[in-house]
Structure 1
Amino acid sequence: MDPESVCFMAREIIILCRLDHPNVMKLEGLITSRASGSLYLIFEYMKHDLEGLLAAPEVKFTEAQIKCYMQQLLRGLNHCHSHGVLHRDIKGSNLLIDCNGNLKIGDFGLATFFHPNQKQPLTSRVVTLWYRPPELLLGSANYGVAVDLWSSGCILTELFAGKPIMPGRTEVEQLHKIFKLCGSPSEEYWKQSKLPHATIFKPQHPCKHCVIETFKDFPASALVLLEVLLP
């Protein structure tokens, strides 16, 4: 029960108490242990997570299933965002699924409150690397709901492709994978950018946007959504 852990858990509990939606994991209760000084959060039981299902060789999602999961994910995120909450770690292992195909967003350990006009800087050291948007990789401390939507775009491509689309090993490699798929910023952007890592991560050669060409076998409706989520 060190002070830092208590602070993080208190924030997570407050956030979970603010949210109430069918596609967000609901906090059912708390259990404390005086002997070990531990605090446990109690949630309903969900048999699967999206990452585990994608890793199973026998599982192949249909277009209808993918649409259903994405609709539930975006509905859950819309509820979070409309209540001033950024999740900041959307990935397959945090998207829980029951035996009836219901999806719920879980693990709000990195979540935070936000306001569109807030001046207080946020940490860029959030979101698991493969799902982290370029502005965070470049060190931005001023961001909003777009960080969760970028991660959702990565999930959408993963559902159709059956595997992560940008599995970078380092932050530099991750950003260059993003540039190769979504295109790199203009020369003018690099000159004007004040982000901390802009000069470090600038690619040697400019890259073109090629999301449509890369995923040309995806359904047309998925490509339209991808263009919004991975601009």
Structure 2
Amino acid sequence: MATTDKAAQKGYPLERRDDGRSRFHGCSRINDYEWLCKLGEGTFGEVSKARSKKNGQIVALKKILMHNEKDGFPITALREIKLLKQLDHPNVLKLEEMAVERSKNLTKKSSMFMVTPYMDHDLSGLLQNPNVRFTEPQIKCYLKQLLEGCAYLHENRILHRDMKAANLLISNKGVLQIADFGLARPYDDEPPKAGKGGGEATREYTTLVVTRWYRPPELLLQLRKYTTAIDMWGVGCVFAEMFKRKPILAGDSDLNQALMIFDLVGSPTDETMPGWKDLPGCENVRDFAPRRSSLQQVFKDQSPLAVSLLTEFLKLDWRKRINAIDALQHPYLHTAPMPARPQDLPQYEDSHELDRRKFRDQQAKPPPAPAGGSIGAGAQGDWGINGQPLPYDARGPGRGPGRGPRLLSEWSW
């Protein structure tokens, strides 16, 4: 179980370590790094592999592109940088520093790079690799690390809001880290408590979050007072994806996404999702024929405890959906086969966006999904709320869907 950050307990903000020193180094020059290769296209620009000339550390450089310089620095990039500066957990990607590339042309702005430790893979890439087969102890190891990272974020009142396999980075030391905080934001309500599920929120947030395939039903029905439970639905989708080796709910529109969810876990009722009829987006699903849960059948090859935990993650009622604290105590993670130790997991060839294209060519392509991810994402696809695409200005050229506007004033957060 995660505990509140010790620095915060001592009265320091999260940006400070236990002794009061800053967690964040500041800025360096891009010339302090030796470029090695390109890894892929991230939310804001290219991501490359590089070596620090100072200490030899292999890092990832995420270039923040200014798609329209007159609008200033992308607000989603600012939000990600601000949050990552505060965070310090083994299962959350660490922002080491920012690097600046000064332009020789005085009329052009400098380029900015986020410097993070290099991670050999993302989970989506590993699952697309036909040569990779996860054992159950390996799945349990990754799930446990994911839950520990989520427990830390939620205890420190941070919503990730884009939980998916492409945003989970894995090193060849077996360490999993949550990445891509471009949609993350502070959470105003009380953090989750053991035995209390996701609870209730008092403040409204935008529903333009979470990649569709991992989007929980309450967001599809346009609940604005959502909780940390939206991240736990994504954790459940990732958990199931490790068994099936592909996204389990690959809808091609918001309405189709809701239909797929109800096909898997059953139609919403006053018992399974109290208040669903009062949500703004319920009109489009009211006329669906009643559906019974097929989850037991779909995952019949998995153990009863695995299905039990998956059922807790994929509860329609966000108030009762299991939180990370309780999921870490679920019997699935405490019975044989036990979770593997990270250092005992196998090593694989690098699996990033550019590395794994050859894997996609060897297998049937899934339906298009919204792009995103810290080191590159899946195929491009459409995005919208209730089937309506976002306006061009909200997406921007080359931006991942749902990435939000460039200016804080464009949305009420």
Q: For this structure pair, what is the TM-score category when the shorter chain's length is used for normalisation?
A: over 0.9
Counterparts in 2 of 1:60-99, with a 5 A limit? 60-99=133-172
Between the aligned partners of 2:276 and 2:166, the Cα distance in structure 1 is 37
Could you say if the C-alpha distance between residues 2 and 148 of structure 1 is closer, same or farther in structure 2, counting changes exceeding 3 Å?
Answer: farther
Between the aligned partners of 2:172 and 2:277, the Cα distance in structure 1 is 47
Residue number in structure 2 paired with 1:221:
305
List per-residue Cα deviations over 1:175-216 (Å, max 9, x = no partner).
000000011112797987332211023243111123222211
Structure 1 residue 16 displacement after superposition: 1.0
Secondary structure, in 3 states, of the residue corresponding to 1:23? coil
TM-score (norm 2): 0.53
Between the aligned partners of 2:239 and 2:210, the Cα distance in structure 1 is 16
Residue number in structure 2 paired with 1:173:
256
- Matched length: 231
Between the aligned partners of 1:25 and 1:154, the Cα distance in structure 2 is 21
Between the aligned partners of 2:259 and 2:72, the Cα distance in structure 1 is 34
Which range moved further: 19-28 or 186-195? Answer: 186-195
Give every structure 1 segment of 4 or more consecutive aligned residues whose post-TM-superposition deviation is greater than 6 Å. Answer: 187-192
Which range moved further: 59-68 or 15-24? Answer: 15-24
Q: Larger relative contact order (C-alpha < 8 A, sep ≥ 6)?
A: 2
Residue number in structure 2 paired with 1:57:
130
Residue number in structure 1 paired with 2:111:
38
Structure 1 residue 2 displacement after superposition: 4.9
Residue number in structure 1 paired with 2:286:
202
Letter in 1 for 2:281: H
Structure 1 residue 69 displacement after superposition: 0.3
List per-residue Cα deviations over 1:31-76 (Å, max 9, x = no partner).
2334243322110000101000000111110000000000000000
Between the aligned partners of 1:192 and 1:148, the Cα distance in structure 2 is 19
Q: 1:24 aligns with which of 66, 72, 92?
A: 92
Letter in 1 for 2:297: E
Secondary structure, in 3 states, of the residue corresponding to 2:280? coil
Is 1:140 the equivalent of 2:223?
A: yes
Residue number in structure 2 paired with 1:123:
206
Residue number in structure 1 paired with 2:408:
none
Which range moved further: 207-216 or 173-182? Answer: 207-216
Letter in 2 for 1:112: R
Residue number in structure 1 paired with 2:277:
193
Between the aligned partners of 2:243 and 2:100, the Cα distance in structure 1 is 42
Letter in 2 for 1:161: K
Between the aligned partners of 1:152 and 1:113, the Cα distance in structure 2 is 19
TM-score (norm 1): 0.93
Q: 1:212 aligns with which of 296, 308, 313?
A: 296
Could you say if the C-alpha distance between residues 178 and 192 of structure 1 is closer, same or farther in structure 2, counting changes exceeding 3 Å?
Answer: closer
Could you say if the C-alpha distance between residues 109 and 192 of structure 1 is closer, same or farther in structure 2, counting changes exceeding 3 Å?
Answer: closer
Letter in 1 for 2:81: I
Residue number in structure 2 paired with 1:15:
83
Between the aligned partners of 1:37 and 1:140, the Cα distance in structure 2 is 40
Could you say if the C-alpha distance between residues 45 and 34 of structure 1 is closer, same or farther in structure 2, counting changes exceeding 3 Å?
Answer: same
Contact 2:276-2:282 at 8 Å conserved across structures: no
Structure 1 residue 134 displacement after superposition: 0.5
Unaligned runs of 5+ in 1: none
Which range moved further: 162-171 or 113-122? Answer: 113-122
Could you say if the C-alpha distance between residues 196 and 2 of structure 1 is closer, same or farther in structure 2, counting changes exceeding 3 Å?
Answer: farther
Which range moved further: 114-123 or 143-152? Answer: 114-123
Contact 1:190-1:202 at 8 Å conserved across structures: no
Residue number in structure 2 paired with 1:109:
182
Structure 1 residue 161 displacement after superposition: 1.1
